[in-house]
A and B are shown apart, each in its own frame.
Chain A
C-alpha cells in the first residue's frame, strides 16, 4: 500500500506542476483532473474511500467538466496560448516557486524525520462521514448550504432572460 500512496502522491505533484505550466487551457485542465484523481487515490489509500469517491464524482466529474465546458464555449485559440506563454517569464514564476520550494524542503525534512507514519488509520466509511456531518459539523454543513443557496439565487438572477423583465 505504501508504494501506491507514494506513486499517486508523486503523480499528483507532477500533474499539478504541469497544470501550472501548460499554455493551453484545456491541457492544463486535463492535468488538473489527473491531479485530482491522484489525490482521490491518496484518500483511498489513507482509508477514506468515501472521500475518494466524492473527490472523483464532484471535483473530477462535475466541477472540472464545467470548467472544460466554459473553456469550450470561450473558444480560446492560439492567441490565448501565446499570451499564456508570454506570462510564464521568470520574473513571474520565481516568487511562487521559491515559496513552493521552501514548502517542499519542509516536507522533505518532515518525511526524513519519519513524521508521516500515521497513514493506516481506521477506515472512515460513508456512515462515519454522515454521522460526522449531521453531528459535530452540523453548523458547517448549514453554512455551506447557505452559500450554495446564495450561489443558486445569484445564478438564477444572472441567467434570467432580459426580455422577460422589461
Chain B
C-alpha cells in the first residue's frame, strides 16, 4: 500500500514536471522573440493577448493544423522517430535536476551527472537521424555537421565537469549543490563554467553555434523536410534544451537553490531565467562562425583549456589536502 502510494506520488511528480516543462518551453518561444525584439530596438510579438502571450497559443494551433507531410523519398520510420528522440532525451534529462531539496524527481541519483551527459549524448541521434532519413542533401549535410559538432563538444562538456566532480567528490547532483553552500563553483571553476556553457550552446545547436541548421547555407539543415508538429517537436525540444542547459549550469556552477532571503525555488528559477536570457542575448549579438573555425575553436582551444583546468584543480586539491 505504502509502496503504491509512493509510485503514485512519483508519477504525479513526473506528470506535473512534464507539463510545467512544456508550458515553460512554449512560453520561451515567445519570451525569446520578445527579448530579441528588445535587443534589436523592436517590440517583438505583442499583439495577441496581454503583452502578446497568446502568440504561443496561436503558434501552437498553427503548428498542429499544418499538413504533417512525410516526403515520399524519406525513410518513414526513422523520419518519424527522430523528432520524438529530440523531445524525449531532453525531457528525460530533467529527471535528475534537484530544483530544491523537496522538488525534483530523482535528484538524488548517485550518477546524476553522468545520466545528464548520457541523455545529452543520445540527443545527437535526433539530429543525425533526421538529417539522414530526410534523404535530402542539405538535411544530410546538416546532420553530418551536427554529428561532428555534438560529438566533439560533448567531450569538452564532459571534461569541463570533472573539476566540479573533483571538488564536490560526487556525481550526485544534490550533493554537488550542497557542497556549494558557501562558494559557488563558478568562482573556482570559472573555466569549467565557460566551457560547459559554450558546450551546452553547441549541444543545443543554438544560434552562434547553429551550424547544423545554418539557414543561409543549408536551407534549414537537418529539419529542412520537416513540417507541422514534427517540426514543432524539434522546435520545442530546442527550447527545452535551453532550459536544460541553463538549469544544469545553475545546479553545477551557480549554487542551485542557495541564496539569501528568497525561497529556494525562486532562487533556482531566477538563476535559470538569467541564463536563459543570456542564451537569447548570445543569439541577438553574435554571428555564426565558419564550420572549420568552430571545430578548431573546440579542439584547439577548449580541449587544452579543460585539460589544464582539470590538472590545475587536481594539483590545488592535492596541495590543499597534504598541507
A residues touching B (Cβ–Cβ < 8 Å)? 24, 26-27, 30, 33, 40, 49-50, 52-54, 56-57, 60-62, 65-66, 68-69, 71-73, 75, 123, 125-126
Q: Which residues of B contact A126 (CB under 8 A)?
A: 110-111, 114, 171
A125-B110, A126-B171 in contact; A57/B132 too (CB < 8 A)? no
B88 to chain A, nearest CB (A): 12
**A65 touching B147 by the CB < 8 A rule?**
yes
Q: Is the interface of B mostly helix, strand, loop or mixed?
A: helix
A26-B132, A56-B118 in contact; A72/B78 too (CB < 8 A)? no
A72-B143, A72-B147 in contact; A65/B111 too (CB < 8 A)? no
A132 to chain B, nearest CB (A): 16
**A65 touching B114 by the CB < 8 A rule?**
no
Q: Considering the complex of A and B, which 9 residue pairs feature the smallest CB-CB distances, nearest first?
A: A61-B121, A53-B114, A56-B118, A49-B111, A69-B147, A53-B111, A57-B118, A72-B132, A65-B124
Q: Which residues of A contact B118 (CB under 8 A)?
A: 40, 53, 56-57, 60-61
Please, how many angstroms separate the alpha-carbon atoms of A71 and B109 in the complex?
35
A-B contact pairs, 15 of them (CB 8 A): A53-B111, A53-B117, A53-B118, A54-B114, A61-B121, A61-B154, A65-B124, A65-B147, A68-B147, A73-B144, A75-B140, A123-B110, A125-B110, A125-B111, A126-B171
Q: Which of B78, B114, B117, B143 contacts A27 (CB 8 A)?
A: B78
B298 to chain A, nearest CB (A): 15
B residues touching A (Cβ–Cβ < 8 Å)? 75, 77-78, 81, 109-111, 114-115, 117-118, 121-122, 124-125, 128-129, 131-133, 140, 143-144, 147-148, 150-151, 154, 158, 171
Q: Which residues of A contact B132 (CB under 8 A)?
A: 26, 68, 71-72
Q: Which of A26, A60, A72 contacts B122 (CB 8 A)?
A: A60
Q: Which residues of A contact B75 (CB under 8 A)?
A: 24, 26
**B121 touching A62 by the CB < 8 A rule?**
yes
Please, how many angstroms separate the alpha-carbon atoms of A56 and B147 in the complex?
16
Please, how many angstroms separate the alpha-carbon atoms of A69 and B150 in the complex?
12
A105 to chain B, nearest CB (A): 33
Q: Which of A50, A57, A75 contacts B158 (CB 8 A)?
A: A57
Q: Which residues of B contact A71 (CB under 8 A)?
A: 132
Additional 14 contacts, C-beta under 8 A, given A26-B129, A69-B128, A126-B114: A27-B77, A30-B81, A49-B110, A49-B111, A57-B158, A61-B117, A65-B151, A66-B147, A68-B132, A68-B147, A69-B144, A72-B128, A125-B110, A125-B111
Q: Which residues of B contact A69 (CB under 8 A)?
A: 128, 144, 147-148, 151
**A50 touching B122 by the CB < 8 A rule?**
no
**B121 touching A66 by the CB < 8 A rule?**
no
Please, how many angstroms separate the alpha-carbon atoms of A54 and B114 in the complex?
8
B319 to chain A, nearest CB (A): 20
Q: Which of A30, A33, A52 contacts B111 (CB 8 A)?
A: A52
Q: Which residues of B contact A52 (CB under 8 A)?
A: 111
Please, how many angstroms separate the alpha-carbon atoms of A62 and B147 in the complex?
9
A52-B111, A53-B114, A69-B148 in contact; A61/B78 too (CB < 8 A)? no
